[in-house]
Structure 1
């Protein structure tokens, strides 16, 4: 029961940080990665408690790295085209 408290507090903090980030895209990406890491920790703890193999956690890490690389590529494209990473300057029509 103590493990659930350890996992949910960082996840809630990451979601709050993501929802309150309104200026920079990099801060939003960092808070999303924090949520992904807390979900990974929760998955590893649950798999070890129930005695499952940890292969699924490796697959989850691969997909989270791909998600991080995609977010960074969007950040690089935004900085090259707009000159900054402000979310207010982000427009769908400018892509």
Structure 2
């Protein structure tokens, strides 16, 4: 059980560090967010299986995380079509 908690914490912290350090491309940000969601799903699975609960909440979590991913990919496609790249520093959000 302790090794599972260590794996969960390591996955989440490495996803958080990659989110904070790879901020130049929007696609890298989306991938690190999805990795953090995957680690949260793993932690939720460990918690629910340890407590003996049902897994219905995990299905709701998966639905919300997939919709978050689809929204991020839609924004990425919109950025590439309007600006030609996914660099976050190449355009201004003010206009």
**TM-score, normalising length from structure 2?**
0.94
- The alignment's C-alpha RMSD in Å is 0.9
- Determine the structure 1 residue equivalent to 2:37: 36
1:91 and 1:67 map into 2 onto residues whose CA distance is: 23
- Determine the structure 1 residue equivalent to 2:78: 77
- Determine the structure 2 residue equivalent to 1:15: 16
1:44 and 1:78 map into 2 onto residues whose CA distance is: 35
Count of aligned positions? 94
2:78 and 2:7 map into 1 onto residues whose CA distance is: 36
Structure 1 runs (4+) greater than 6 angstroms displaced: none
- Determine the structure 1 residue equivalent to 2:53: 52
- Determine the structure 1 residue equivalent to 2:89: 88
2:91 and 2:20 map into 1 onto residues whose CA distance is: 17
In structure 2, the gaps of 5 or more residues are: none
2:91 and 2:41 map into 1 onto residues whose CA distance is: 30
- Determine the structure 2 residue equivalent to 1:67: 68
**CA apart distance, 1:7:** 0.5
Q: CA deviation digits over 1:21-41, x for unaligned, max 9?
A: 121100010000000000000
1:58 and 1:35 map into 2 onto residues whose CA distance is: 17
